[in-house]
Structure 1
């Protein structure tokens, strides 16, 4: 065969092979279904290492293509923080924003995720919870995998099998004390049951919350990061004047200092033990404390401030509150519903939002229709007893107290209340003889009356001209104020703060 003939044959073979491969790729089918979903080995990549110095950790994520055809991930990227904390290697290619990643039919790829943490950085750069998302976009549909790591050296309380969900905290009816000097960080919600949890003076409890959208169509969104006390659980908080116990959201940067709704709140369910909170400073939650279902709760020297809904909720409960401040709620400061037994001594309840009431009391519950009205035959009642002494209920409305008696006065023993030596913001109730008969030595404040130093700036100490000064009656068992300062022996002041020049 001549040289020319050999070249002709070689080019013919090359042309045939090129045509064959071109035909193969042209005819290949790639999954373009916009409803197609990738499958992941986990929906959350959880770095549970706590670093005391600068360190890093790596976790593996596997991405599956369950389709009978190849798929192309048009983009895979870390959503936020520009890779400051998290970095990834996807199918052997490093990068935090990659394109056109191919997964063959019935095949998978590996993703190696890495986090780098410096716990000595300030909380702005390395907060307690480092949270990001790894987004995969395929056929115009985006799926996300959560990336979570600990950014500070602390005690983290979470369900490692299902992060962000409810974690059961139990100790076989024993006692556990959180006495580590490092902060405690709750990720998700905590259920205390068959255990007494004691929180000593100076403890710092930070809760990671946020709005949760449930998958169910009829399920309402809720704020995560709640602490539940079950029927056989008990929560005891032993703060002191010098070292109060603090409950906060886990974002401590300046821009979050006054942001409410960062975490859920504390719920006590039908606990058969007395839950006692002393010198508790709770802020920036969705609600403060809910004492539910015949629960007994004792509060003293406690601040519940800057909440979305209500500072304190009692539902058929027994609550004793002494030297407490319930302030800065968008909803009612204190809600007492379905009866119960309630005592408030030396409490300040300023409603500065002007959108609701400082306190409400009723003695019933019911199933409601779409308009919020009780469905006939569903009303249940329970005796309500309220005693308020040496306290302040103030606000911007004409009336800062709301009473709803299911019996409308026909059964007085089922709806009992009294106010003694207190400052009350009421208008219509001044004309109510029944209300007047149940009050003793109270001052009905006017809009021009001075009470606090500056309630608009959350300075709820008494002003030098406050009408609450010197009107309280001494209670032998209560000698100090919310800060632990000794009150005047003969003419103490109403409210949680004793005036001191």
Structure 2
């Protein structure tokens, strides 16, 4: 028994010794190299005081032996604006990291850029250093920082926003009642996720052809360039009046512009001109009992309606292109809706409100559905006064266009031959049936198209927002 016990103790010692040797059998070669999934971590524009999105990369040990990494750290140390999470450890330095054979670890990186009171973007560089086997490897960190005017859930009075540096709207904002927000040409407004521009007073957003005003989400990576639903949109609230959007780009929201009930007939809710509204999860223009005058606008690629004119109102659209080629999901609604009623009290009661005028002149309404117009009238005696004059519309045979009070000189169902609508180009091709089909009187009212080209330099104006120029 005594001999057996000694033997067992000896065997146990050997097992422990071999296990200990195996544990310490690290790859100590100075030629060993870690394998990174990225050699540079690049952050597109990061706004000051607002943290970035999180970037992730992997660090792999490609060898059949374990590697001991003496330290992983930010070269910039505690003063670095970057932050690390190393395989679950939140900190900018971690020591004695054992990376098993053929195994990987995950590192997550974020950055917050401090304001620098500069109108110009700045580059923020750092690196993550891996020190092991008396050698070092590193990964570059590069971020473009942009100082911004931060609007964080604020109520704004009468003021003017100038084009010095972008405005970042965080947690929404409100233009107060009886206040006027004036936005000068070239201003860019970035909206964080779930943020909205509420207007109880008036907004005058008047850009120029050379310096349009841009409303968009705050994700500036290339992958987000045309992704809808990144912010909530613009809401002109009930009582808001005299709002102007001229030479603006409104893109990648849920609703482009929601226009609520007008304050009075003498105070139109919205003048919309020379503006592009693109890539909306829901609707480009959603009006409820409003007064809108619109010309030279491109309204495209919306998950539901491009233009929904509901619960009555007065509307005039001249030389507008409404082209809906939404491709992110199945669209079940037409591009254009006209409606003059709504139900309330859990559907027990109905309120009828007249559309006293809905004119579409020298316009194009087209898309990838069989019928792109819905006239939703409560009954045959309720007022829904609409007219398509010198316009190209897409409706099928079940949609009657025989009433001359509603349809004058229209082109039905013919492809307008946009250049590349699935990639956002709604200019007319040289073979377009919409060329020279517009009424001269409307062309004279709006002699320059959305590209600032003349409409009156040839025989007749083209339909839609763009005048075809040959050899272009």
Normalised-by-shorter TM-score class:
0.5 to 0.7
1:356-395 to 2 correspondences below 5 Å: 356-367=333-344, 375-376=347-348, 378-384=349-355, 385-395=357-367
Paired position in structure 2 for 1:229: 199
Paired position in structure 1 for 2:169: 186
| CA distances 1:279-326 after superposition (whole Å, capped 9, x unpaired) | 011111111000001161000000000110000011000011100000
> What is the CA-CA distance between 1:117 and the residue it aligns to?
4.6
Paired position in structure 2 for 1:68: none
Question: Gaps spanning 5+ residues in structure 2: where?
Answer: 1-46, 50-79, 95-110, 127-143, 264-268
Paired position in structure 2 for 1:410: 381
Secondary structure of the corresponding residue to residue 205 of structure 2: strand
Question: Gaps spanning 5+ residues in structure 1: where?
Answer: 1-48, 52-82, 99-113, 127-149, 159-165, 210-223, 370-374
CA distance in 2, matches of 1:341, 1:116: 48
CA distance in 1, matches of 2:123, 2:226: 19
- Residue in structure 2 matching 1:325, options 286, 291, 298: 298
Is 1:473 paired with 2:446?
A: no
Secondary structure of the corresponding residue to residue 247 of structure 1: strand
CA distance in 2, matches of 1:292, 1:202: 27
Paired position in structure 2 for 1:335: 308
CA distance in 1, matches of 2:439, 2:433: 14
The verdict on how the C-alpha distance between 1:368 and 1:461 changes in structure 2, with shifts beyond 3 A counting, is farther
RMSD: 2.8
- Residue in structure 2 matching 1:457, options 423, 426, 436: 423
Paired position in structure 2 for 1:316: 289
Q: TM-score, normalised by structure 1?
A: 0.63
| CA distances 1:163-198 after superposition (whole Å, capped 9, x unpaired) | xxx32112xxxx311114211111110110132111
Secondary structure of the corresponding residue to residue 338 of structure 1: strand
1:245-264 to 2 correspondences below 5 Å: 245-264=213-232
- Residue in structure 1 matching 2:271, options 268, 289, 298: 298
Is 1:289 paired with 2:257?
A: yes
1:87-166 to 2 correspondences below 5 Å: 95=91, 117=114, 120-121=121-122, 151-158=145-152, 166=153
CA distance in 2, matches of 1:497, 1:432: 25
CA distance in 2, matches of 1:400, 1:388: 14
Secondary structure of the corresponding residue to residue 311 of structure 2: strand
CA distance in 1, matches of 2:342, 2:399: 27
The size of the alignment, in residue pairs, is 341
The verdict on how the C-alpha distance between 1:283 and 1:122 changes in structure 2, with shifts beyond 3 A counting, is farther
Secondary structure of the corresponding residue to residue 460 of structure 1: strand
CA contact under 8 A between 2:48 and 2:114: conserved in structure 1?
Answer: no
Paired position in structure 2 for 1:108: none
CA contact under 8 A between 1:399 and 1:428: conserved in structure 2?
Answer: no
Paired position in structure 2 for 1:400: 372
Q: TM-score, normalised by structure 2?
A: 0.67
